[in-house]
Structure formats: structure tokens, C-alpha cells
Amino acid sequence: MLPEITPLIAGNWKMHKTLAEARALAREIRAGLDPAGTVEVAVAPPFTALAAVAAELTGSPVGLAAQDAFWEPQGAFTGAISPLMLQDVGCRYVIIGHSERRRHFGETDAGVNRKAKAVLDQGLRPIVCVGETLAQREAGETLEVVSRQLRAGLAGLDPVQAAALVVAYEPVWAIGTGRTATPAQAQEVHAFIRSLLPEVVGNAVVRLLYGGSVTPDNAAALLAQPDLDGALVGGASLQAASFLKIAAAAA
Ligand code: PEP
């Protein structure tokens, strides 16, 4: 990790947690965080729990994140949530282009690009997810796929706004599977992304998170890699104990 980068550990709660469960988890995370910690922590509850979790986190350093956003600020877009609404409810981050959105909801790189721009325009920080499938990795296409996703997803971003950007490398084969990229595999792709970003977004310092079956057992080895600036955590973020251990491993 570059010395000036504060690590970020973000928990993606996906489609989990009722209101009562979300409040309880937010409270536990808040209470268990090291107050002198050098790591930034954020949680991404489902939309239904954003306001409740925001209330639980008031006055704490834990950031609020959304799991997606549409690109328009308002209008006749039934079912969609805008960056304006997410800012209004207290979000700091918005996950964009998660592989589950790409796979189940037809998210494209062009859509990711519009969403990332809209999120930045609203003063929020997009966490833009990229990553290859198992078939693409086995065909030796990993770097090509990641490059294509980044070039298209981040095309035309304002270089000043890009300072707020976070990129998450999440190999699809590692998400929710218990099969983690090795530290060397993750580092290889992160170094590649780091080298590509100046061409795509200019010289902003962009935090690069790794995601894919991060647990308290593998977090330290992954986060020790020089180009990993944090983690996007799914399953292990659903319990405060495991999520807090991962945050501690990043310190
Ligand atoms: C994710 O949802 O972004 C993720 C990485 O999930 P998991 O940690 O469960 O693999």
C-alpha cells in the first residue's frame, strides 16, 4: 500500500438483514471498532435499511454505502434509486458494477460508466467493481477483461473527481465461493490496475480493494500485498466479529 493511502474495508450486506438485524449489526460494528484505528470502515446495507443504519452510525467514523444507484437524479424510473437520494440518506460510497448486478440484472460497462459519473457528480464515491469469470481466467484473459471493464467503465471521468474513486477487483470465481485469489494472484491484477489507471483517469490516487471470499483467516496475507488498499467483503461482513477482525488485519 502506498504510504498516503488509508485502507478501506467495506462490507457488502447484499440482500440480507431486516431492519432490526441491520440496526443490531451496525451497532455492534460501531461498538467494536478500534477508536484509534487507522483503517476506514464502511457498510453497504440493502436500500431498505440505509436510513436506519445511518441513524445508528451518526457521529461514528463508519461510512455508509449503497449497493447500486441509477444515473438519473429523479424521474419516472420505477424501482430505481438515485445518487441524490443516496446522498440525502447519508451515503458516502456507492458500489457500482458488482458482478451480481452484471450477471442477474444485465449491468453493462456503459451503464457502469453513467452510474459512476452520476455518483461522482453528486459528491459521492463510487466503488467500481471489475473482475474476470473462471472461464476468462482459464483462457488467460484476466488482464484483458479487467482492462476492458476499466477503460469502458471509467471513460471520460473528470480527473479531479477521480480522486474520490475506489476500484474493487473481484474475480467472479472468488465471490461467495470460499475460493479466494492467492495473494500473488490478487497482487498481479492490482499492480496491473494501478499501472493502467493513469491512462484512464489521470494521476489521482485511487484506492484498490480486493473482493472475493475475504475472511479473518486470509485477510492479513492479502492486505500485506503492496497494491491492495483494502477489501470489499461479502459473507464475512454479515457478522460483526468476522468483519471487525478483517478491519483489524488492515491496520
Ligand atoms: C462481494 O459481495 O463483493 C464479495 C466479495 O462477497 P464474498 O466476500 O462473500 O465473496
Between the CA of 36 and the centroid of ligand 1 the distance, in Å, is 27
DSSP 92: S
- Output the pLDDT for position 3: 55
Task: Determine which residue's CA is closest to atom 3 belonging to ligand 1.
Answer: 234
Residue 106's contacts (CB-CB under 8 Å, 6 or more residues apart) are: none
Kindly state whether residue 183 falls inside one of the protein's structural domains: yes
Is 170 designated active site?
yes
Q: What single letter denotes the amino acid at residue 224?
A: A
Kindly state whether residue 3 falls inside one of the protein's structural domains: no
Number of domains in the chain: 1
Per annotation, catalytic residue among 40, 98, 100, 190: 98
81 pLDDT higher than 80: yes
Kindly state whether residue 2 falls inside one of the protein's structural domains: no
2 pLDDT higher than 60: no
DSSP track, 51-83: HHHHHHHTTSSPEEEES---SSSSSS-TT---H
Domain limits for position 72: 8-249
- For the chain, the average pLDDT equals 96
Q: Which three cell numbers stand for residue 136?
A: 476468462
213 pLDDT higher than 90: yes
pLDDT in tens, 126-146: 999 999 999 999 999 999 999
Kindly state whether residue 71 falls inside one of the protein's structural domains: yes
35 pLDDT higher than 80: no
- Calpha distance 56→66 (Å, rounded): 16
Closest Cα partner for 98 from 168, 160, 46? 168
Mutate to test the pocket of ligand 1, among 12, 134, 215 (most ligand atoms within 8 A of CB): 12
Contact criterion met (CB below 8 Å) for 251 and 38: yes
pLDDT in tens, 98-113: 999 999 999 999 999 9
pLDDT in tens, 228-242: 999 999 999 999 999
pLDDT in tens, 140-196: 999 999 999 999 999 999 889 999 999 999 999 999 898 999 999 999 999 999 999
- Output the pLDDT for position 37: 81
Length of the chain: 251
Residues with CB under 6 A from ligand 1: 12, 14, 170, 175-176, 211-214, 232-236
Q: Which three cell numbers stand for residue 231?
A: 477489501
Conformational region of residue 67, where left means phi above 0, alpha means psi within -120 to 50, and beta covers everything else = alpha
Longest dimension (CA), the chain: 48
Mean pLDDT in residue range 56-66: 96
Q: What CATH number is given to the structural domain containing 122? A: 3.20.20.70
DSSP track, 19-35: HHHHHHHHHHHHHHS-T
- Output the pLDDT for position 244: 97
Q: Provide the strand spans (E) within 158-238.
A: 166-169, 207-211, 230-233
